Every structure is written in structure tokens, then in C-alpha cells.
């Protein structure tokens, strides 16, 4: 029997944790222009390990300290809302995870990037 795999952050490492099903592809990494990274030519994205632990999305990557992002936050601060483009070119509303997450992902990828979460009110066709 094959274990289901989930990708809380699109194109990053998978987890087999059953509780991750509700977070599958909820986050994505965007470039400085708000376009989702597609992973082409960047194996570093898939090397990011992702786990759920005690209400946090836990990210680990080679040479980086662990980064914990709260899973369930009430999205009522419109100042962190933005628009982003998926890899299919669809424009969707997202929630920016902030400067610490942006610094972490940018440092690891060695390019300007942001970690964003698909807004909970967004109708998802196929994220990222």
C-alpha cells in the first residue's frame, strides 16, 4: 500500500503526515515580482524539508536554521494581502508570511523570494 504524500509548500519537500492533507499546496514561493517559482533549474526548492509540528509548519534546509510558521492564523490584517501568479499564470490572492520568512527563503535560494500562503477565501483550482 502506498502512503499518501502531501506538499504543504508547492514544489518543496513532501510529508506523509496525514494531518498535512488539509494544508496540501497551501503555501508557495514567489519571486520578487509575485510569480510562483516553478522549480525549473532550482533543485533547492525540493530540498526544503517540510513537517507539521505542534501547530507549526516546520521548514528545514541544508545550511539553514529551522523556520517555524504558524499553521492556522486568522487572516484579518489586509496589509499582508497581495496578489500572486501561479505557475499556470492564474492571479490569486495570497497572504505574505513576512520578512523573516522572506529572508530565510531568499538566503537559502540565493535570490529574492517570498513565502506566501493562498488566502483562505481564494477559490483554488490548482495552486502553484
pLDDT in tens, 49-70: 999 999 999 999 999 999 999 9
Q: pTM of this prediction?
A: 0.89
Question: Is the separation of the CB atoms in 79 and 97 below 8 Å?
Answer: no
Q: pLDDT at position 3, please? A: 83
Distance CA 98, CA 127 (A): 20
Say if residues 67 and 100 touch (Cβ distance below 8 Å). Answer: yes
Q: How far is CA 31 from CA 11, 40, 51, 73, 109, in A?
A: 14, 13, 23, 23, 10
pLDDT band per the 50, 70, 90 thresholds, residue 8:
very high
pLDDT at 7 over 70: yes
pLDDT in tens, 21-50: 999 999 999 999 999 998 776 689 999 999
pLDDT band at 1 (very low <50, low <70, confident <90, very high): low
Residue 87's pLDDT band, with cuts at 50, 70 and 90, is confident
Amino acid at each position: 500500500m502506498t502512503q499518501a504524500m502531501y506538499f504543504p509548500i508547492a514544489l518543496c519537500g513532501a510529508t506523509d503526515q496525514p494531518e498535512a492533507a488539509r494544508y496540501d499546496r497551501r503555501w508557495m514561493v514567489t519571486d520578487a515580482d509575485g510569480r510562483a517559482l516553478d522549480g525549473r533549474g532550482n533543485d533547492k526548492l525540493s530540498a526544503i524539508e517540510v513537517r507539521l509540528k505542534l501547530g507549526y509548519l516546520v521548514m528545514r534546509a541544508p545550511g539553514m536554521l529551522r523556520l517555524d510558521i504558524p499553521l492556522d492564523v486568522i487572516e484579518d490584517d489586509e496589509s499582508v494581502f497581495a496578489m500572486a501568479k501561479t505557475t499556470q499564470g492564474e492571479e490569486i490572492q495570497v497572504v505574505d508570511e513576512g520578512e523573516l520568512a522572506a529572508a530565510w527563503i531568499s538566503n537559502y535560494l540565493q535570490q529574492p523570494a517570498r513565502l506566501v500562503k493562498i488566502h483562505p477565501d481564494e477559490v483554488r483550482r490548482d495552486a502553484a
